[in-house]
Amino acid sequence: MRLLTLGALLLAATTPAAAQRQLELTPFWTAFIPIAPVGTNVEGSVVRQQSALGAGGRLTAWGNNKVALDFSLTYELTLASMYAGGQLGDVDSHLIEGSVRLLYEIKPHPAGTSFFVAGGAAFNAHRGAAYRSLWGRRGSSFGDEASGTPWGPVFGAGFRYRVTRDLLVRIEAEDYIYSFSGAAQMAPGGYPSHLQSDLVFAVGASYVLLGRGGFIR
């Protein structure tokens, strides 16, 4: 709900009445690379989310030739390295990332390549056995899938290459920045959390659903 409300406000603010509008759908594959460990237990053992591949989709509404509103949802099935039963092992986990961002074109190219930057708000939901062992069932509305769903800023940059009139290749990199609230009480014994920075690299194909001619002129 917060994403939809924020998106509606941004779209209203950035879409002039005479703008050239275009709506695109982009399925994509991702490479997820966490930079910071999730936390450190009282024995000094690091709990770290492992890198993973994932998939997702974006819906992008270009309000004019420069600015667009972008919604995305990404899923990664991965593992977390942590101590369980006195032994270091890999525990099942999965991540769900969602964002609403503004995209701004900074460098068009006559041949059909455009560069852009992006920024907005995002959530990063941590699910699975690894996070049930950290959070227990505290503060979760997801039953057995107890975990944390922190919010924070997301920044990105990328480029798009027009293959045909209604098909583009889109490649970009994003940085999700967030922290867990109440992290010092995440588990018995305590797992103090670090500020998180997750890099996500995405490659996808954008299909024009509405509008023709695009933002590349």
Q: What is the per-residue pLDDT across 151-167, written as a single tens digit (0 to 9) for each?
A: 999 999 999 998 988 89
Q: How far apart are CA 65 and CA 210, in angstroms?
A: 15
Read off the pLDDT of each residue in 187-211 and give the average, rounded to a whole number.
81
Read off the pLDDT of each residue in 120-135 and give the average, rounded to a whole number.
80
Is residue 105 within 8 A of residue 66, CB to CB? The reply is yes
Which of the four pLDDT bands, split at 50, 70 and 90, describes residue 145? very low
Q: What is the per-residue pLDDT across 69-117, written as a single tens digit (0 to 9) for each?
A: 999 999 999 888 876 556 667 878 889 999 999 999 987 665 578 899 9
β strands within the chain, DSSP E: 22-34, 39-40, 46-49, 52-62, 67-84, 87-107, 113-127, 151-164, 167-178, 196-210
For position 86, what pLDDT does the model report? 63
Is residue 187 within 8 A of residue 193, CB to CB? The reply is no
Backbone angles phi, psi at 13, to 5 degrees: -80, -20
| Domain 2-210 listed as CATH 3.90.1150.10 | no
Alpha helices in 2-54 (DSSP H): 2-14
Q: What is the per-residue pLDDT across 54-67, written as a single tens digit (0 to 9) for each?
A: 999 999 999 877 89
Read off the pLDDT of each residue in 20-33 and give the average, rounded to a whole number.
92
Q: What percentage of the chain carries pLDDT values higher than 70?
A: 66
Q: Are strands 67-84 and 196-210 parallel, antiparallel or unpaired?
A: unpaired
Nearest to 151 by CA among 131, 118, 132, 179: 179
What lies within 8 Å, CB to CB, of 72 at 6+ separation is 56, 57, 58, 59, 97, 98, 99, 101
For position 100, what pLDDT does the model report? 98
Q: How far apart are CA 216 and CA 165, in angstroms?
A: 10
Does pTM top 0.85 for this prediction? no
Mean pLDDT (the chain) is 77
Domain residues of the chain, as ranges?
A: 2-210
**Two tokens at 28?**
């994509």
